[in-house]
């Protein structure tokens, strides 16, 4: 694998902006309710979003009337964000890595990151979030963890075999070694901020299902950075086999999503 994990793989998203905007899901209302129950956000609040992408997680926060600064590494995504939310006068975009951008310390009521904070080195990201927050301010880290539904075990088994043949071989992954996201995983992630001075640690899990046609599912896979990074000749065969398998099993596939939310607070002195 030729790409450096953090420097380049994360940047592959910016090459698939239109697909990402079309295919990536937003987040459930219950997740935002949990955030707003944890920290009050209104027109007087200041918020930072880390790794906004195409803004799938941005609108519910913007609707509170807060001042929101989106930090986005990709230039194409940054352009999309500026246009998409241009009617919000207190919305601005900083193009750059979260590690590098200049933000005022002790200023923000909320820093949040949706399926993006894993790109930021832990030892840099958490202390920086802590430094940006006001006392009593909150950090919300959340993500969507999709997996093939168990309602069609034959299709799932066939897709697993295709992944083993192409994806696992490309990345040098041993078959069956990929772990499934569980509540224990969420609990472990939720405890990371404690090392950096955060308190009031909590986490939540939410679930949903989505159904895709064969074509839609291939489009979805085309938004995943690790799939985009696969050598094109291998990726074409890989995707074609998955699409064919779905067609042979009724033409659609159900994805079961686990959405995890981890919350932590900068303590008051």
Q: Say how many domains are in the chain.
A: 1
Residue recorded with tokens 């420097």: 7
Give me the domain span that covers residue 148.
5-265
Number of H helices, E strands in the chain: 11, 7
Residue recorded with tokens 């906004």: 52
Angle, alpha carbons 257-258-260 (nearest 5°): 140
Structure tokens at 164: 């083993």
The whole-number mean pLDDT for each consecutive block of 10 residues of the chain, a chain of 269 residues, reads 44 63 88 99 99 96 99 95 98 98 99 96 98 99 92 94 96 83 97 99 97 95 91 97 98 97 97
**Domain harbouring 219, CATH code:** 3.40.50.150
pTM of this structure: 0.90
| Cβ 85 vs Cβ 55: under 8 Å | yes
**Confidence at residue 179, expressed as pLDDT on a 0 to 100 scale:** 80
């Amino acid at each position: 694998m030729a790409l450096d994990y953090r420097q380049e793989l994360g940047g592959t998203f910016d090459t698939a902006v239109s697909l990402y905007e079309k295919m990536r899901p937003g987040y459930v209302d219950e997740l935002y309710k949990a955030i707003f129950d944890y920290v009050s956000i209104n027109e007087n609040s200041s918020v930072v979003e880390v790794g906004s992408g195409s803004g799938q997680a941005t609108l519910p926060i913007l609707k509170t009337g807060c001042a929101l600064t989106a930090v986005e590494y990709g230039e194409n995504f940054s352009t999309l964000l500026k246009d998409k939310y241009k009617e919000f006068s207190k919305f601005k975009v900083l193009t750059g890595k979260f590690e590098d951008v200049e933000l005022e310390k002790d200023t923000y009521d909320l820093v949040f990151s949706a399926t993006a904070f894993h790109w930021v080195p832990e030892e840099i990201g958490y202390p920086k979030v802590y430094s940006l927050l006001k006392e009593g301010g909150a950090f919300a880290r959340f993500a969507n963890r999709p997996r093939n539904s168990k309602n069609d075990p034959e299709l799932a088994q066939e897709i697993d075999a295709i992944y083993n043949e192409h994806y696992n071989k490309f990345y040098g992954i041993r078959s069956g070694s990929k772990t499934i996201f569980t509540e224990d995983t969420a609990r472990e992630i939720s405890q990371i901020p404690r090392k950096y001075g955060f308190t009031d640690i909590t986490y939540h899990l939410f679930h949903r299902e989505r159904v895709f046609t064969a074509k839609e599912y291939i489009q979805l896979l085309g938004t995943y950075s690790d799939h985009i990074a696969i050598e094109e000749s291998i990726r074409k065969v890989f995707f074609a086999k998955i699409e064919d398998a779905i067609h042979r099993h009724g033409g659609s596939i159900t994805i079961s999503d686990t959405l995890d939310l981890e919350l932590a607070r900068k303590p008051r002195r």
